[in-house]
Structure 1
Amino acid sequence: MSRENGRPDAGASDAGEQLALIREAVRETKTERAKPRTWRGAELAAELPVARVLVDKGLVHLDRYFDYAVPAAMDQEAQPGVRVRVRFGAGEKGGRREGGKLVSGFIVERVAESDYRGVLAPVAQVLSSERVLTPELLALCRSVADRYAGTLADVVQLAVPPRRARAEAKPSPAPLPPNPPPEPGSWERYGAGAGFLAALTRGDAPRAVWTALPGATWPQELARAAAAALAGGRGALVVVPDGRAAARVDAALGELIGAGRHVLLTADAGPEERYRRWLAVSRGAVRAVVGTRAAMFAPVADLGLVALWDDGDASHSDPHAPQPHAREVLIQRSVHERAGFLLGGLSCTVEAAQLVETGWARPLTAEREVVRAAAPLVRTVGDGDEARDAAARAARLPTMAWQVVREGLQRGPVLIQVPRRGYAPRLACERCRTPARCRACAGPLEARDAGELCCAWCGRPESDWHCSECGGARLRAQVVGARRTAEELGRVFPAVPVRTSGRDHVLATVPGAPALVVSTPGAEPVAEGGGYAAALLLDGWALLGRPDLRAGEEALRRWLGAAALVRGQVEGGTVAVIAEPTLRPVQALVRWDPVGHAVRELAERAELGFPPVSRMASVAGRGEDVTELLRSAELPVEAEVLGPVPLPVPDPGRPRRPGDPPPGEQWERALVRVRPGQGAALAAALKAARAARLVKREGEAVRVRIDPPDLG
């Protein structure tokens, strides 16, 4: 690959200079290698005077290394893996490269000669002698960038945290000797659980998809798996969805192996402290990491185990380019570093089921008798069932669900899961459940304090609403928020304390005394004293009715997450779910069979050619730009293009998210589907097409995402 000395930022330079640099790069392949020369005859390093630098520019057409000369004064510090500052985008003047902006980068290697035939600019500054970009981490980042049609610079930015000089100045503690192997403990409830831990201790690389039993023991089980890898003299990495889960696993691992043997990597620690802990891992002072999504790149030495908890959680998918998923990154690490792999959760995704079906991993489950003893009793009630008494009607609950709550409060706290936070409800037709929308702007209608209808977007009152689908005139709350649900239940049970847990205020634990705990999915606190006495899962149709390929899988995952906090059936734990009893996810919840649900979902995906059986890419942008990119891309043979189709315009009331179109623009999206084994070719073709468009300055930017999670 030809290398050049740098070029200006595409957003700041003119098109002529960009084209000139591209032509120059092509000419370089036909010239003899030149020894490096620097400005004003500066003395160069005696050995390996050329540094190949990864410049911190995430533009797809600049996804390569650039050569710089190493001055003799920097010879000792300018080693592979260190951070540097270089002049990027220098121009020619009098036969020399001059000017250009100072940008950050990493030295990836030192070589004796450069492919570039001109005058090499010198490395301007070595920011730190700390080797943060190790060869293993660089190889992982390159692999992830290729898989997701991204740039190496973007992935390295995700993998290496920003520098904090004070953290680098502090020495890391000396590594501690390994602990003895842990006892299997609750892993003995799983048929092959003890054998899995033994294989990790021996230094093997077992791969398992683990369906955890309900209850609060999964953090201790993850900790035992990590401790088994450490006992074998290797490292361990555990990635969980959020800070609450990370804190639970961190506490369990600290209790098991003692202090100073692992670190917790989460955003809550703050930039400097997090970087200090990351350096301890990079320097080999500690060999075990527990953390959230960004920890998937943690540079653990001699990795023996990578573990991921609850891979269906959306927080495992990084919103920043190229949007890698933690599951796929850890799979690559397991293969490249010959480490054990553990994918665990209360539920089971179709991707996890495919790993087992293909034989790449083995199932790690408990016998049905053990599952039935640990799981609560699940009762179903249709959303349309009418309450037979005034108290149940006041709480908007069918009679059976109200009875579950009332009986549960006699024995302990009761969990109420509500699909959304907040207070103001969205309204829908009572007969056909078509959302009620404004006739002027199509915004959602809501009920104000006086009971009057008005539009949530434009504020226009609606005095005579009728359903556009069935002509009905009666409305119902489409989904009532957590705060309003708490108020209504508080009026029905006035002597019982009511607590809420949601995005703005998430509770970690609640006391074991009788109380109503109203929570949104994923924010459910753990009940002390053995768990909740009962749980009520409201508005199940709202989760199942989402226009998303994963609606059923996601609804079941959220229900299982809440129901697993309830006491087992032998202890009287009961869960009531308000949803159509005949639907597949509801039946999977009743039987507590997430694996069976995932296997059936995978079979249907195979028939329809949907991921993960196939590989798919999303191409979004202005309609003409999407069409032109797909026309110019050299897609794999038999690639199927679906669309493009218009994307829905985001609600103006919510904050912008990564991937949203610019305000006022109508975007379209096309899906490109290929058969298994062609994913790498698809990613390479789309990346090359994007690079060519950027070089030619054709049209607007087009966003490409490999394996998009939302195909609704």
Structure 2
Amino acid sequence: MTGTIAVAAESDSAATESAVDVDVSAWERYLHGGAFVRALRQGKGPRAAWQAMPGEDWAARLAELAATVVAAGRGVVLMVPDQRDLDRLLAECVRLVGDSAVGLSAGLGPAARYRRWLAVLRGQARIVVGTRAAVFAPVRDLGLIALWDDGDDTYAEPRAPYPHAREVAMLRAHETGAAFVAAGFARTAEIQAVVETGWAHDLLAERATLRAVMPRISAPGDSDFALERDALARAVRIPGVAFTAARAAIKENVAVLVQVPRRGYVPSLACAKCRTPARCRHCNGPLALPQSGNGEAASPHCKWCGITEAAFRCQACGSRALRAMVIGAARTAEELGRAFPGVPIRSSGGGEVLDSVEPGAQVVVATVGAEPVIPGGYGVALLLDGWALLGRADLRAAEDTLRRWMGAAAMVRPRGQVIVMAEPSLPTVQALVRWDPVNHAAAELAARAEVGFPPAVRMAAIDGTSESIAELLAATDLPDRVEVLGPVPLPPTARKPFSGTDEPAEVERMLLRAPRSSGAPLARALTAAQGVRSSHRSDAPLRVQIDPVDIG
């Protein structure tokens, strides 16, 4: 393998071609990476699960794969979760192939989006970079379809028929013979399942190569020595070892990243005496503590009705004292501003997300997923309130937490320091410390197989009122080996189905569980039952999803 590839970049307005040398030697750092690139050059359709190393310029690596496929005369679809990642990846593709790469996203507007869609349809644009809808882009002679960070929930379409971009991408690769790449710092159980079946193969770095670029990752209290130095390391929100690491980085004129799970000031309150969650007297909604215009805390207010609760009294014990259950990003930035006087404190999250920051001594407080990129990487990353991420009542809580942690830790320079505030003995914390997303995904898949959850099985979620669910089941001829579970209340994170403007007050969820071999017959049976309901002109609210991301 020579290490460079000549790429022909075709313009929308001219038929002239120019050769661009693409250096693909960085793929040699991964086991079988060189063979994977050679297969793309030869027009083959290899399928891989690529785990990027910490500090990897993943956008450049995906752009190199895309340029390799374009050089072979075929088209490419690259998908990312959001606009920030789209801009970054598109810039790399344009650098390599020029006008042959276009971006597709909702923010373009109808006219610009349609012009680019036509350019793809006519074959003028050979590389499409977009969000989840780009999976349907009409690319000619598709040679590669890849997605970055497939565990992000934005890949799940919230509108019927609720396709997931990952599943559509795999189906399209299978039908067309195109290459497929699921890339990310972490790995989902769904991708681990297709790897274990042999449909896709690992694209990993050797441990020696990985150790050379890894930051030092630790959890306070993970050793007797750490506890001897700081006896409160497990109990406090930011232990002494974290402050020491942050001060050392700032002294060396290096930025510090602080990841916080929640935005706002104090988004969750509880009674200081009995720890009962604080609720509004008017609507029973949760109380929060906002930040006033002068930077100080205001009176508690209800997050549902907005009424200020100046005279709070606990409904359980009668106490008037309140305590914070969760500290938001705004309050964290305020506290760090006092701890590091004279040091710039930058916030990223909510409506003000920073794409990047300039190098230098500073503290960047970001909510999960809003961490800005910095040239050269951060010196230290503090991952706060791990219990808030791991303690969510969600099937994918551990998987998503590891994905969020690894995304932040990958921004730290080699031999930098990452400190995660979570119980060290937890498997998710240990997977981060060892940088081992593959075994974590394998354990997650095995655990789901044991209790019968996707992707080990197929599961249909039927959401609606008790009457609409009974109506659907009466019209459904369920195949053999289908287990009916529920009904149960709809998970709080799931959107309620509704008909027109009338939203039902009480929504239930019934689950239909079947072996993977019975997944297709179950889907056909539910489709037929929906057709019967439609012919009867039933307007009762109902939603049917196969393997939803928010099972609960």
**TM-score normalised according to structure 1 size:** 0.69
2:348 paired with 1:501: yes
User: Which residue pairs with 1:402 in the alignment?
Assistant: 243
Q: In 1, are the aligned partners of 2:24 and 2:64 still within 8 Å (CA)? A: yes
From 458, 461, 471, the counterpart of 1:615: 458
From 506, 510, 533, the counterpart of 1:693: 533
User: Which residue pairs with 2:365 in the alignment?
Assistant: 518
How far does residue 487 in structure 1 lie from its aligned partner after superposition? Answer: 1.5
User: Which residue pairs with 1:711 in the alignment?
Assistant: 551
2:92 paired with 1:252: yes
Q: Output one character per residue of 1:657-709: Cα deviation in whole Å (capped at 9) or x when no partner.
A: 57479546111111111101222211111121122112113461311111100
User: Which residue pairs with 1:417 in the alignment?
Assistant: 259
How far does residue 455 in structure 1 lie from its aligned partner after superposition? Answer: 4.7
Counterpart Cα distance in 1 of 2:394 and 2:496: 18
Matched letter for residue 287 of structure 1: R
User: Which residue pairs with 1:427 in the alignment?
Assistant: 269
Counterpart Cα distance in 2 of 1:295 and 1:646: 34
- Seen in structure 2, the aligned counterparts of structure 1 residues 479 and 185 have a Cα distance that, compared at 3 Å, is farther
Unaligned runs of 5+ in 2: 1-10, 291-295
From 339, 348, 351, the counterpart of 2:190: 351
User: Which residue pairs with 1:372 in the alignment?
Assistant: 211
Unaligned runs of 5+ in 1: 1-170, 651-655
Matched letter for residue 607 of structure 1: E
How far does residue 175 in structure 1 lie from its aligned partner after superposition? Answer: 5.2
Counterpart Cα distance in 2 of 1:433 and 1:188: 54
User: Which residue pairs with 1:297 in the alignment?
Assistant: 136
User: Which residue pairs with 1:128 in the alignment?
Assistant: none
User: Which residue pairs with 2:161 in the alignment?
Assistant: 322
Counterpart Cα distance in 2 of 1:371 and 1:415: 22
User: Which residue pairs with 1:539 in the alignment?
Assistant: 385
Matched letter for residue 493 of structure 1: F
From 155, 170, 188, the counterpart of 1:331: 170
Counterpart Cα distance in 2 of 1:604 and 1:407: 41
Q: Which has the larger radius of gyration?
A: 1
- Seen in structure 2, the aligned counterparts of structure 1 residues 466 and 369 have a Cα distance that, compared at 3 Å, is farther
- Seen in structure 2, the aligned counterparts of structure 1 residues 430 and 461 have a Cα distance that, compared at 3 Å, is closer
- Seen in structure 2, the aligned counterparts of structure 1 residues 175 and 201 have a Cα distance that, compared at 3 Å, is farther
Structure with the bigger RCO (C-alpha within 8 Å, sep 6+) is 2
SS at the partner of 1:437?
A: coil
2:314 paired with 1:465: yes
How far does residue 440 in structure 1 lie from its aligned partner after superposition? Answer: 6.6
From 542, 545, 552, the counterpart of 1:702: 542
How far does residue 543 in structure 1 lie from its aligned partner after superposition? Answer: 0.4
**TM-score normalised according to structure 2 size:** 0.88
Matched letter for residue 480 of structure 1: I
User: Which residue pairs with 1:219 in the alignment?
Assistant: 59
From 108, 130, 135, the counterpart of 1:269: 108
Counterpart Cα distance in 2 of 1:660 and 1:556: 34
Q: Output one character per residue of 1:537-560: Cα deviation in whole Å (capped at 9) or x when no partner.
A: 111100001000000000100011
Q: In 2, are the aligned partners of 1:649 and 1:666 still within 8 Å (CA)? A: no
From 324, 329, 333, the counterpart of 1:477: 324
Q: Output one character per residue of 1:393-420: Cα deviation in whole Å (capped at 9) or x when no partner.
A: xx95221222222222123111111112
Matched letter for residue 582 of structure 1: S
User: Which residue pairs with 2:478 in the alignment?
Assistant: 635
State, as a whole percentage, how many aligned pairs show the same letter: 51
- Seen in structure 2, the aligned counterparts of structure 1 residues 313 and 352 have a Cα distance that, compared at 3 Å, is same
Q: Output one character per residue of 1:85-105: Cα deviation in whole Å (capped at 9) or x when no partner.
A: xxxxxxxxxxxxxxxxxxxxx
- Seen in structure 2, the aligned counterparts of structure 1 residues 201 and 695 have a Cα distance that, compared at 3 Å, is same
User: Which residue pairs with 1:64 in the alignment?
Assistant: none
Q: In 1, are the aligned partners of 2:271 and 2:278 still within 8 Å (CA)? A: yes
Matched letter for residue 535 of structure 2: V
Backbone CA RMSD of aligned residues: 2.9
User: Which residue pairs with 2:3 in the alignment?
Assistant: none
How far does residue 268 in structure 1 lie from its aligned partner after superposition? Answer: 3.2
Q: In 1, are the aligned partners of 2:80 and 2:147 still within 8 Å (CA)? A: yes
User: Which residue pairs with 1:127 in the alignment?
Assistant: none
How far does residue 445 in structure 1 lie from its aligned partner after superposition? Answer: 2.9
Counterpart Cα distance in 1 of 2:513 and 2:18: 47
Counterpart Cα distance in 2 of 1:633 and 1:454: 47
- Seen in structure 2, the aligned counterparts of structure 1 residues 504 and 446 have a Cα distance that, compared at 3 Å, is closer
Counterpart Cα distance in 2 of 1:433 and 1:305: 53
Counterpart Cα distance in 2 of 1:413 and 1:343: 31
Q: Output one character per residue of 1:7-30: Cα deviation in whole Å (capped at 9) or x when no partner.
A: xxxxxxxxxxxxxxxxxxxxxxxx
Matched letter for residue 286 of structure 1: A
More displaced 10-residue stretch of structure 1: 202-211 or 459-468: 459-468
SS at the partner of 1:526?
A: coil
